[in-house]
Structure 1
């Protein structure tokens, strides 16, 4: 098996280091090289609406690792054209801001299970979508739907601007470490 080792601007990773709240670490990632990426990280949200930008910012941070087995997309919203990328991955992590009473106060990584995927698509999926609709479309069009997770990051403000609140910034830091741990676990 061919492996790729990438040096990033983060320090060596250990299980204990994953729980330490720091963004300036250097990690050596060893992920199997692949003809196509096994992992897909899709961060989505409006980068002009404060904390809603946290999903794309996480995807951009992961992209800087330049791992051959990982493809990242930072998008405004989930649209049907993403189904092609989703169909080629073994594992997909959707990264999104989570606001309101239904959200936890910490980063949540939860599997997207089949029961939550609707059996039919809504009449219009071109304006905005969600991971369940995109996975269902992928399964219908490509006869394959990868294992998928939703990584939700707690937020405070969706006001116009590009600055993250302290809550979203802390969530960003933890989300990046969570993805790093995920990639090491599923390699």
Structure 2
């Protein structure tokens, strides 16, 4: 073999095979737009919308509850002086009594119609306490407020203190 033949053989071995020409597509490729929303962006949007929803409607509900509580407080403030009125009249009757006893009931002190309202009913207990009970018109029946004349203190007996409407101790101050 001649030198030229050897060189031809070597060049054939080392030369890579020609690559086939790339196929051209019949239609041009459509570029994807960058404004497409991904899963993360959608979740962030939903999270923000949920927070706004909770905040806005939570605030509305809180405003409604505050308005209802203010209306109940206004009703309670109208009858709150009745505790002192009943107590003052009962003290006078106790001083006038020969034995120093408290009056037996509210009828001995004054006409109950002067104190009772659609929302609240007053009673006098013979142990020196004024008892006020809420009615259905108040929103919940059975909340009892006691005023002890001797110790000048109030107490509330609520069968379900978590239920609304309720009478708060701050109203009694």
Tell me if both proteins adopt one fold, taking TM over 0.5 as the criterion. no
Higher-helix-fraction structure = 2
Range of TM-score over shorter length:
under 0.3
Higher Cα radius of gyration: 2
Higher-strand-fraction structure = 1
Greater relative contact order (Cα < 8 A, sep 6+): 1
User: Which TM-score applies when normalising by structure 1?
Assistant: 0.23
User: Which TM-score applies when normalising by structure 2?
Assistant: 0.25
